[in-house]
A and B are shown apart, each in its own frame.
Chain A
Amino acid sequence: MEIMGLMIIVILVIVGVLFAVKFVVLKKPAEVRQTFSRTQMASNFGLALMSSTTADCRGTAIKNLLIDCAEWPEAGGTITCDDGRKSCAYVNATIKDLLNQTLDVWKTRYYFTAGTSKALDAQIIYFQNSCPADKKLPGESESFFLPTNRGLLTLKMFVCE
């Protein structure tokens, strides 16, 4: 009879432990700072990038180089920078350099696209770091829109979890 009582106690203890493990130990920690950082990163990167003035391309804003590149992708853009590069080549190199100095250094997984159509191969800008745009991965994104004569140029910064 006592053995039965002991068994019930043991079963109750096991159930209690399982509950504790389920709700306390296996509880996913809240990633407040990480989520905030990703959201802030995506939105601020785009805003700061678009407003930046180029160092050696007649003081043109990156935003205007992107628009020019999107309007004349066949010619590589119409604006010729101080070093002879056209707007598409210049803006590609500048954005790549910026990403290398920031998100790549911080080991942030991201993709950045810019284009007037949704197709990935039609994007005028596409950079990624362990987070390809053709895969649906969890994360935070921010889109920016610039009007061009080829339609709306959409810049998308996606920061993966």
Chain B
Amino acid sequence: MGETIAIMFVFFILLVVGAVFYMNLQRTTVTRDIAEAYDLRAVELAQTISFLPEAQCTESNVVKASCFDIYKLIGLSKVAATPQGRDLYSNEFGNTKILLVKVYPVGGEWTLYSNPKANFTNAPVTHIPIALYNTTSDKYYFGVLEVTTYQ
């Protein structure tokens, strides 16, 4: 009788240890899934922004890859700063900050959209090199699109 009770006792201890271990594993998995979902969202956003028709360079209605028109960017940043523009783009971009920096020749920075999360835990930045086209001077500059995703 005593042996049976001891075995049952050990068995239940093992069961409890197993359950605690399993719950910890589940927590790790859920945390990782959430991080992956945020990563996917960041990728999706970066892709959406890279192909924004409001900013892309076109020549005779043909879209140029990895190129933003500076004048369209200026217009877009002004529109996105208005309450209506912010409402419109918040559905698409959510809690992000989209900044465009002219790297070569140095100078120029445009905030295309900014809606930071109040208490964010993490804010990974995705950098996308991009060509910037000045239609009046017919010159291309080297720029970088910085997409900050607030988590």
A residues near B (Cβ < 8 Å) are 2-3, 5-6, 9-10, 13, 16-17, 20, 24-25, 29-33, 36-37, 40-41, 43-45, 47-49, 51-53, 55, 59, 61, 94, 97-98, 101-102, 106
Contacts and interface: CB of A to CB of B under 8 A. Distances in A.
B67 A16 contact: no
B101 to A, nearest CB: 9
Contact of B140 (A32, A43, A52): A52
A16 B19 CA distance: 12
A59 B139 contact: yes
Contacts of B126: 33, 36-37, 40
A158 B42 CA distance: 22
Contacts, number: 99
B127 A13 contact: no
Nearest to B14: A13
Size range of the chain B interface in the assembly:
35 or more
B133 to A, nearest CB: 8
18 contacts: A6-B11, A10-B14, A17-B18, A29-B35, A29-B36, A32-B39, A32-B43, A33-B40, A33-B124, A36-B46, A43-B66, A48-B142, A51-B131, A52-B141, A52-B142, A53-B140, A55-B105, A102-B144
